Amino acid sequence: MKDLVRQEIAASATTLVIKVGTRVLTRSDGQLDYDRIARLAEEMHQIMATGRHVALVSSGAVGAGMGRLGLRYRPTDLAHLQAVAAVGQSALVEAYERSLRRFGRHAAQVLLTAEDLEDRTRYLNARNTILTLMHYGAVPIINENDTVSVDELQTTFGDNDRLAAIVTNLIQAPLLVLLSDVDGLYDGDPSDPAARLVPMVQRLDRSVFDLVRDEATGLSKGGMASKLEAARQATAAGENVIIASGREPDVLGKILAGESVGTLVLARGRTVAARKRWIGFNVRPRGHVVVDEGARRAVEHEGRSLLPIGVVHVRGRFRKGDVVALCHPEGEEFARGLTNYSSEELQRLKGHKTGEIAAILGHHPYDEVVHRDNMVVTA
């Protein structure tokens, strides 16, 4: 059944970011499902034939590597995971290239690390490369560079759901489609016959996250919780998200036809400018600044800058120009921004009036700790 809201979203989606999970792309034995990859390639071609652009964030490298190497279980240590991913990545891209070539298109491998997108120059380079690839009619096949990413050093994205949200913000795609092995978000355990699919989410609050019933598997790192977190990042920047089954025939065609498939998570508010997307959703905070209730209200609801008098606690070590998270008195993040002061300076300034800055530091470079022009509300 077609839905007017979905039809409007589909009509405005000139660019799509599609994320496909490991459990969609692999069979139960861990081997790549080449038939499913071929069908996905055909659906992407059909989308591109309408004049739209597509970027694909694809899991499956570790699963493909397990299949090629004859492994029954996912490795648990970093070196073995990276080696298996290196073997599997080539198989994954080969499969996409072979399937897309039938339609006169090509797959373009794009491997990223979190560091690539936290550096402003490298971030812009990645954006320009992906946009240029789409201009040529190629499909960027985007994945984390698992062979060099190190979780212990916080250089990973965590999972490809988060990477997909980052790519959506990177290229300002109006629609993110997260293809999973389930039909969408359910109001209970999906295996329970009484559970019902949630067709639309207008606000991603705690009650929505409480619906999640994820189970760990041997192949996938993600789950519904990570998909909802990715949806939170994308919708906060003004883009729409659909979570649907990658195993449903012609699922992408149905989505672009405005049919009611999966769970639609609606965008919140206006589209966020490109620079503020980088600040608010792509860079990991170097520290946390806890503010009082008055400062929280001024920043979150009145569009004001953060002043020293509103700062209660400073956590972490950061320098001027780093991204910091602004937190409620209870500790929950509600905004991010570029700090005008280092953590050491802010420890001395917290709770003081603007007129006291010069006396405390010996100079007065800024009135604001974080200026509103360099801040994004993420709550």
pLDDT, tens digit, for every residue of 148-206?
655 533 445 568 899 999 999 999 999 999 999 899 999 888 888 888 999 999 988 88
**Backbone phi, then psi, for 50, in 5-degree steps?**
-85, 0
Give me the domains of the chain, ranges plus CATH numbers: 4-276 (3.40.1160.10), 285-377 (2.30.130.10)
Mean pLDDT confidence for 10-39: 89
pTM above 0.85, yes or no: no
Dist CA 74 CA 59 (whole Å): 14
Nearest Cα to 238, choosing from 276, 209, 267?
267
Question: Is the dihedral angle over the CA atoms 209, 331, 273, 295 positive or is it negative?
Answer: positive
Please check the confidence at residue 283 and state whether its pLDDT lies above 50.
yes
On average, the pLDDT of the chain sits at 89
Does 49 or 187 have the greater pLDDT score? 49
Question: Is the dihedral angle over the CA atoms 66, 71, 74, 78 positive or is it negative?
Answer: negative
pLDDT > 90: percent of the chain: 62
Mean pLDDT confidence for 345-351: 97
Residue the block writes with tokens 């800024």: 366
Dist CA 184 CA 178 (whole Å): 9
Dist CA 207 CA 221 (whole Å): 23
Type of residue at 73: Y
Interval 285-324: pLDDT, tens: 999 999 999 999 999 999 999 999 999 999 999 999 999 9
Q: Which of 220-229, 233-242, 328-337 has the lowest mean pLDDT?
A: 220-229
Q: Taking a C-beta distance cutoff of 8 angstroms, is the pair 149, 162 a contact?
A: no
Token representation of residue 163: 């990477």
Residues linked to residue 289 through DSSP beta bridges, in sequence order:
314, 326
